[in-house]
Structure 1
Amino acid sequence: MGDLESRGSWKNRGAPPPPPPHSNYYTSSSPYYAESSEKQWTSWLVPMIVVANVAMFIVIMIVNDCPKNHNSSLEGNCVARFLGRLSFQPLKENPLFGPSSSTLEKLGALEWKKVVNENEAWRLVSCIWLHAGVIHLLANMLSLVFIGIRLEQQFGFARVGVIYLLSGIGGSILSTLFIKNNISVGASGALFGLLGAMLSELLTNWTIYANKAAALITLVIIILINLAVGILPHVDNFAHIGGFLTGFLLGFVLLIRPQFAWQERRHLPVEARGKSKYTLFQYAFWFLSMLLLIAGYAFFIALDEM
């Protein structure tokens, strides 16, 4: 499975993989951003998220305690038994070197019945911080570092943090609506949200980019490659799409920048600037995106209460 949104008795959802041989690949290459004199933020949130995910995975494995809770006579021995209670489930049960599905479910994996029928909406958030195994965790965190640090340096921790969390929830919501028979964990919705935000940031801040066509084509190709992974067996693309759409809309709202003509004249007296700070289409995108985001979350809440 690697870094994929997957389904199955233990199968889980994760994020797009790092560079080949895996096909899900995020990059933070400079063509996505226009060079400017704007403040460069110090990235600390993304490293903290990485640390939190690693710490959470250790907690998961301690709770899992394969040597104590697993019946080796039925499915084989735990993997890496020298790790003690941190050892992994048999590879036939979990090929990603991780815990059992029951452990993930206990600690907050996304499950339709529990979210809808038992009102455990907190699972929409908790599942983002759980991982199916070491391979899953590494692939997710590499993807996050590739795209998250660059975005945080450009736009700061607050905006990137909001996009990451709300996109993860958006991915969980769409999965809950369409995937009803399997549990799910992983941060792919949040990671796809950052990728979607990169695209909307490019579109809404179009005037400040030097190599517009190259940046757009490169980013669209990466997005298509990532979404194409959803065609593979055991891969759930609903979390990918839900996270991507949420991040795409949030990018129009949170990552808006002044147009190039305004930046060129911003040091002149007000009467000499002649250009508004934002263009009409930036305001239109902002309003429409806010409307769609509110409508989407309201629709899910209403559906959940029916």
Structure 2
Amino acid sequence: MAHPSITCPQCGRATDARYSSCLWCGAALPPSGGRVIEVVHGERGGDLIINGIIVANVLYYLLSLLISSKSTLGGGIFGFLSPDDNSLALLGATGTYPVFRYGLWTLVSANYLHGGAMHILFNMMALRQIGPWVCAEFGASRMFVIYTASGVAGYLLSVAAGVPFTIGASAAVCGLIGALFYFGKSRGGNYGQAVSREVSGWLISLVVFGLIMPGINNWGHGGGIVGGIIAAKLLGYRERRPETSLHRVAALACLLVTLAVLAFGVWNGLRVLSYRHI
């Protein structure tokens, strides 16, 4: 969860405004005044990337509804506005069958597909909450690389575990949680410990939720978390390693691959729509 921050008058870094002292240097914070900022309104590049991911998810979800059989729409709070499996397969759902039938591109496209209105709402709310915090600590480019790599890692583990058919952005979102967990443990100190405690609460909630709710891809969640930890360790975070041109090139490569995969899925979907009107 992103919290209000205040600029420390001693070290000049953004620190959690809920504390009376700076989590970085320990200096006392003013009870009022200072430049208070919201992590959730982080750098413009981070906002642009996060908003772009959300827009892509929403548009892809709407396309899945458009090419879906109308008789499959609806059915309870979790089944409300659910696209059918055929439309999801065409647009790039992944799992053991789609990967071996259609190819590895589904490991990327599945991160932008959802099984209902509540599914996409929960995932995008989580991304909107966690994404800015990752951008604040890692930078926008590294955040997108972590997001993309974690999603692929989560679904690779799903395939290895024999999950036949799966979709959703939760593997990638779990990767962002994993990155923050690594950051907290690596950073240490009061601030690192505070991050680790909060992220550990999220991880416990994910495990409990996955055990009590049917249909949850726990392999995807676990693979995403591990992928996020590994990606964060390899890429580094701002305090220890500033973003470089290599990070930006990696983010651009992830973007081009994602756009190519989604464009291919859109082409598949529009092709089905054109056949229906012949």
| Interval containing the TM-score (normalised by the shorter chain) | 0.5 to 0.7
The amino acid that maps onto 1:137 is I
CA contact (8 A) 2:126 2:173 kept: yes
State yes or no: 1:160 paired with 2:152. Answer: no
Please identify the structure whose Cα radius of gyration is greater. 1
Pairing of 1:184-195 with structure 2 (within 5 A): 184-195=166-177
TM-score of the pair, normalised by structure 2 = 0.67
Distance 1:119 1:106 in 2: 9
Distance 1:179 1:36 in 2: 50
Between the two structures, name the one with larger relative contact order (CA 8 Å, sep ≥ 6): 1
Pairing of 1:144-293 with structure 2 (within 5 A): 144-180=127-163, 182-206=164-188, 209-232=189-212, 233-258=214-239
Superposed displacement of residue 127, structure 1: 0.5
Distance 2:94 2:12 in 1: 41
CA contact (8 A) 1:171 1:238 kept: yes
CA contact (8 A) 1:205 1:256 kept: no
1:97-128 deviations in Å (ceiling 9; x for gaps): 22111211121111312313x36111111111
In structure 1, the gaps of 5 or more residues are: 1-26, 71-87, 260-276, 278-306
State yes or no: 1:128 paired with 2:108. Answer: no
Q: Aligned match of 1:64 in 49, 61, 68?
A: 68
Equivalent residue number for residue 29 of structure 1: 3
Equivalent residue number for residue 99 of structure 1: 83
CA contact (8 A) 1:171 1:240 kept: yes
Structure 2 counterpart SS, 1:132: coil
Structure 2 counterpart SS, 1:210: helix
Structure 2 counterpart SS, 1:64: coil
1:19-77 deviations in Å (ceiling 9; x for gaps): xxxxxxxx23369xx98548x632210011111111111111111151xxx4xxxxxxx
Pairing of 1:2-17 with structure 2 (within 5 A): none
> Considering only aligned residues, what root-mean-square deviation do their CA atoms show, in Å?
2.7
Name the % identity.
26
The aligned length equals 208
In structure 2, the gaps of 5 or more residues are: 15-41, 242-278
TM-score of the pair, normalised by structure 1 = 0.61
CA contact (8 A) 1:96 1:132 kept: no
Superposed displacement of residue 257, structure 1: 4.4
CA contact (8 A) 2:154 2:224 kept: yes
CA contact (8 A) 1:164 1:190 kept: yes
The amino acid that maps onto 1:226 is L
